[in-house]
């Protein structure tokens, strides 16, 4: 057969665990795939939760492996896994039966199979099931996603393997989340890693679009737990998404961006439960009109709690050569990374994540005291960082003023401000107790005026 990629407008479609949690979700997935013939390469996750108290297949498989490693019985859990797949297959009137495969998995677990092997079987079995349901051939990810012996993805080898295989195929189902070393040892990505598989497949087949189907209608301007019914972002650049993800927005696995970004393939986040919604388009072009993002100056707001500040003060600090370097060397020697370093003339603060310093506070303080003999040096806990992200800020004056006016009206004290040279975001440090209200106020100013309380 000629190179199947020559056909235009190929789409790679990845479906997350909630999109494949039961037979009804499988039906929606099939309807989406058959609605567009160019949705040719399909990457499934393992069945996820059907409701908030349900357990993901991946987690059940980790449990089996843990029990097996402790020489405890795991048949009950394996039986639940079997029933999940069987129930889906029977409701869809398929002859697929995972029993034989599960017997092989059980035997391998009893003889010491790894966590990665166990977890990967969720996607493997779901891939077989979906391949049966769609009538698309199955390609085992162990044969096309290549890892080095120390567990690092080998991009070039993976591209070659995927291209060799898929160029001869009109359609395929390639399970997400795992691959293998050349010796056949199964390796998984970190959690949520099916997103990466989808991105790799999209790049390999030179897709025109990587559609990532999930259970929300796209990337939201703000966390819906803080802003119910938060607006959806129509278009966002890879850089903006990275800023928002770093600050806590959970949309895609962060490593999923790089393969498609390098090839200029846009990612479209779509909702399996609302397939008519356009979702969010993640694009490379940062000249893309910011108003197309949401119609607002900012693209998104995200933030995280759990930071602390090391506040250092010393008279004439500004005149002391190497002061900063000596302080940072202490952190470097202890292997502690920091987030921001706002400074005054005789003061400096180092903002870092609580996890980075937990249990070592006194060591850090005493080493800093020894290194630079400050007048005072103390740790302040309970700090949140909030990022207001938007490529439109570069061109719009007054964005910072609007943000800070909103916070001032709410009597929120700002502990730190940082605007990077990219002018893509403004990062604000505040107390944990002010975090949610700050997000509501900023959202109110830029997106939904009805959220602004009467002053
Ligand atoms: N099933 C895996 C997990 O639960 C991978 C994925 O869904 O992307 O993390």
pLDDT digit string (tens) for the chain, length 455 residues: 445 555 468 999 999 999 999 999 999 999 999 999 999 999 999 999 999 999 999 999 999 999 999 999 999 999 999 999 999 999 999 999 999 999 999 999 999 999 999 999 999 999 999 999 999 999 999 999 999 999 999 999 999 999 999 999 999 999 999 999 999 999 999 999 999 999 999 999 999 999 999 999 899 999 999 999 999 999 999 989 988 988 888 889 989 999 999 899 999 999 999 999 999 999 987 555 544 555 667 899 999 999 999 999 999 888 889 999 999 999 999 999 999 998 888 999 999 999 999 999 999 999 999 999 999 999 999 999 999 999 888 878 888 899 999 999 999 999 999 887 777 889 999 999 999 999 999 999 988 866 655 55
Distance, CA of 436 to CA of 121 (rounded, Å): 40
Is the CB–ligand 1 distance for residue 176 below 6 Å? yes
- 454 conformational bin, left if phi > 0, alpha if psi -120 to 50, beta if neither: beta
Say how many Å lie between the CA of residue 179 and the centre of ligand 1: 13
Say how many Å lie between the CA of residue 251 and the centre of ligand 1: 13
Residues in the chain: 455
Is the CB–ligand 1 distance for residue 122 below 6 Å? yes
Say how many Å lie between the CA of residue 17 and the centre of ligand 1: 7
Is the CB–ligand 1 distance for residue 192 below 6 Å? yes
Say how many Å lie between the CA of residue 32 and the centre of ligand 1: 21
Ligand 1 atom at minimal distance to the Cα of residue 177: 5
Say how many Å lie between the CA of residue 58 and the centre of ligand 1: 7
Ligand 1 atom at minimal distance to the Cα of residue 56: 4
Determine the pLDDT at residue 107.
97
Nearest to 308 by CA among 431, 426, 411, 417: 431
Burial 390-403 (b: 16+ CB within 10 A, else e): bbbbeeeeebbebb
* CA–CA distances in Å: residue 375 to residues 303, 313, 342, 346, 367: 32, 6, 18, 10, 14
Determine the pLDDT at residue 310.
96
Superfamily of domain 300-451: VC0802-like (3.30.2130.10)
Is the CB–ligand 1 distance for residue 189 below 6 Å? no
Ligand 1 atom at minimal distance to the Cα of residue 188: 5
Could you write out the three-class secondary structure of the chain? CCCHHHCCCCEEEEECHHHHCCHHHHHHHHHHHHHCCCEEEEEECCCCCCCCCCCCHHHHHHHHHHHHHCCCCCHHHHHHHHHHHHHHHHHCCCCCCCHHHHHHHHHHHHCCCCHHHHHHHHHHHHHHHHHHHHCCCECCHHHCCEECCCCCECHHHHHHHHHHHHCCCCCEECCCCEEEECCCCEEECCCCCHHHHHHHHHHHCCCCEEEEEECCCCCECCCCCCCCCCCECCEEEHHHHHHHHHCCCCCCCHHHHHHHHHHCCCEEEEECCCCCCCCEEEECCCCCCHHHHHCCCCCEEEEEEEEEEEEEECCCHHHCCCHHHHHHHHHHHCCCCCCECCECCCEEEEEEEHHHHCCCHHHHHHHHHHHHCCCEEEEEEEEEEEEEECHHHHCCCCHHHHHHHHHHHCCCCEEEEEECCCCCEEEEEEEHHHHHHHHHHHHHHHCCHHHCCCC
* CA–CA distances in Å: residue 314 to residues 308, 366, 381, 417, 449: 20, 15, 21, 21, 44
Determine the pLDDT at residue 2.
44
Determine the pLDDT at residue 392.
83
Ligand 1 atom at minimal distance to the Cα of residue 16: 7
* pTM recorded for the entire structure: 0.86
CATH number for the segment(s) 10-190: 3.40.1160.10
What dihedral do alpha carbons 258, 231, 48, 150 form, nearest 10°?
Answer: 20
If you take atom 6 of ligand 1, which residue's CA is the nearest one?
Answer: 192
Determine the pLDDT at residue 185.
97
Ligand 1 atom at minimal distance to the Cα of residue 46: 1
Backbone angles phi, psi at 378, to 5 degrees: -150, 160
User: What are the residue ranges spanned by the domains of the chain?
Assistant: 10-190, 300-451
Is the CB–ligand 1 distance for residue 193 below 6 Å? yes
Is the CB–ligand 1 distance for residue 125 below 6 Å? no
Distance, CA of 417 to CA of 430 (rounded, Å): 9
Is the CB–ligand 1 distance for residue 399 below 6 Å? no
Say how many Å lie between the CA of residue 216 and the centre of ligand 1: 16
Task: Residue 381: count other Cβ atoms within 10 Å of its Cβ.
Answer: 13
If you take atom 5 of ligand 1, which residue's CA is the nearest one?
Answer: 192
Q: Is the distance from CB of 311 to CB of 365 less than 8 angstroms?
A: no
Determine the pLDDT at residue 397.
85
Token pair, residue 318, equals: 């500004």
Q: Out of 141, 191, 196, give the residue to mutate to test ligand 1, the one with the largest number of ligand atoms within 8 Å of its CB.
A: 191
């Amino acid at each position: 057969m000629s190179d199947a990629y020559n056909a235009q407008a190929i789409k790679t479609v990845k479906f997350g665990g909630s999109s494949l949690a039961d037979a009804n979700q499988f039906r929606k997935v099939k309807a989406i795939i058959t609605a567009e013939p160019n949705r040719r390469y399909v990457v499934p996750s393992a069945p996820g939760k059907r409701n908030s108290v349900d357990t993901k297949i991946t987690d059940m498989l980790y449990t089996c492996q843990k029990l097996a490693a402790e020489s405890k019985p795991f048949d009950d859990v394996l039986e639940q896994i079997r029933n999940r797949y069987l129930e889906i297959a029977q409701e869809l009137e398929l002859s697929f039966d995972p029993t034989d495969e599960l017997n092989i998995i059980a035997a391998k677990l009893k003889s010491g199979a790894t966590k990665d092997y166990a977890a990967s079987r969720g996607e493997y079995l779901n891939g077989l099931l979906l391949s049966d349901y769609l009538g698309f051939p199955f390609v085992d990810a162990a044969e096309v996603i290549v890892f080095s012996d120390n567990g690092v993805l080998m991009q070039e080898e993976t591209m070659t393997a995927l291209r060799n295989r898929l160029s001869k195929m009109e359609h395929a189902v390639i399970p997400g989340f795992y691959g293998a070393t050349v010796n056949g040892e199964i390796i998984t990505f970190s959690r949520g890693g099916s997103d990466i598989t989808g991105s790799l497949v999209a790049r390999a087949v030179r897709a025109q679009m990587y559609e990532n189907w999930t259970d929300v209608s796209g990337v939201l301007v703000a966390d819906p737990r803080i802003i119910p019914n938060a607006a959806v972002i129509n278009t966002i650049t890879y850089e903006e998404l990275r800023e928002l993800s770093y600050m806590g927005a959970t949309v895609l696995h962060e490593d999923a961006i790089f393969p498609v970004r390098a090839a200029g393939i846009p990612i479209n986040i779509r909702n399996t439960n609302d397939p008519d919604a356009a979702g969010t388009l993640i694009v490379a072009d940062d000249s893309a009109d910011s108003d197309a993002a949401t119609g607002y100056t900012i693209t998104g707001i995200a933030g995280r709690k759990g930071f602390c500040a090391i506040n250092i003060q010393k008279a004439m600090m500004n005149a002391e050569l190497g002061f900063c370097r000596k302080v940072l060397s202490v952190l470097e020697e202890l292997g502690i990374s920091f987030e921001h370093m706002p400074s005054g003339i005789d003061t400096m603060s180092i903002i870092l994540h609580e996890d980075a310093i937990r249990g070592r506070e006194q060591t850090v303080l005493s080493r800093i005291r020894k290194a630079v003999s400050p007048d005072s040096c103390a740790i302040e806990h309970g700090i949140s960082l909030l990022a207001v992200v938007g490529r439109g800020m570069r061109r719009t004056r007054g964005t910072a003023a609007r943000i800070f006016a909103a916070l001032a009206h709410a009597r929120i004290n700002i502990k730190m401000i940082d605007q990077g040279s990219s002018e893509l975001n403004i990062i604000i440090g505040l107390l944990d107790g002010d975090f949610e209200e700050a997000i509501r106020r900023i959202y109110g100013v830029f997106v939904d005026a009805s959220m602004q309380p009467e002053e």
